[in-house]
Structure formats: structure tokens, C-alpha cells
Amino acid sequence: MKSHITLLGALQQTWGGMGLILGASLLLLAFGAAAIARTTPGDPLTAAFTALLFVVFAAALALGGWANLWAGRAVRQHRSVGRTGALVLAVVNLFVLPFGTALAIYAFWVLLHNDVRALFETPGRGDRIPI
């Protein structure tokens, strides 16, 4: 099962990287919409609202991407907080069709296995979340 844990961590980190890239691209679109709002004569409210929505979704994607990167790294290090974080993120990823759903199902299958549960329950270095 250690190979599945390593693969899950790598997939989780890849998914997080994709989220960060998508967040950055939406941020670029937000700059474009803001430029349109600023340079277009007349009512710039629609473009400004679009830019605001792009910024909100970019922030959400960046936050989710960072969380998936962190969880993937923690899972690969066999940290119990990483297992818990990956399971919480798997619930959220269930609704991101189709790749997030597949990743979530694989995460549930790997992380809820009894052998893996025992592997993550052994006390290790760095299991606490810094405050």
C-alpha cells in the first residue's frame, strides 16, 4: 500500500498545481476585464463585476490548489494531519467532475484502508499543525 500512498500524494500535488495554474490564469482574465472596464466609455459596471468574479474564483482556486499541494506532501510524508486533510479535501473534490471525483474516490480507497490507517496512526515527527 505504500506505493498507493506515494501515488496518491503525487496525484494530490499535481491536482493542487493545476488549481494554482488555473487560479493564476483567472487572475490574468480579471486584469483583462478590469482593463476593459477602465478603458471602455459608458457603463463599465459589467466588466468591473466580471473582474471581481474572476478575482473571487481565482482566490478560491489558488486556496484549493495550495491545500491540495500541502495535503499531497503531507500524505507522502505519512503525517496523520495529511491523511485527515486529504480526506477532507476528498469530500470537496467529489464535486469537481470528472478528475476531482476520480481523485476523491482513489483517496477514500487508499486512506481508509486498515493497513494505511495503522501506518498513519504511528506517532511521527511533525504531526502537529503549527499555530
Query: Packing angle between helix 99-111 and helix 2-39, nearest 10 degrees?
Result: 150
Contact 99, 14 (CB under 8 A): no
- What is the rounded (10 degree) CA torsion for 103, 3, 79, 87? 20
Find where cell 506515494 sits: 6
Nearest to 30 by CA among 56, 4, 6: 56
Q: Which amino acid is at 39?
A: T
Task: Give the max Cα distance, the chain.
Answer: 64
116/52 Cα distance (integer angstroms): 43
- Report pLDDT digits (tens) over 65-93: 999 999 999 999 999 999 999 999 999 99
- As a three-state string, the secondary structure of 44-99 is CHHHHHHHHHHHHHHHHHHHHHHHHHHHHHHHHCCCHHHHHHHHHHHHHHCCCCCH
pLDDT tens string 22-78: 999 999 999 998 888 888 887 778 888 889 999 999 999 999 999 999 999 999 999
Judge whether residue 119 has pLDDT over 60.
Answer: yes
Q: Please tell me the distance from the alpha carbon of residue 105 to that of residue 28, in angstroms, as a whole number.
A: 32
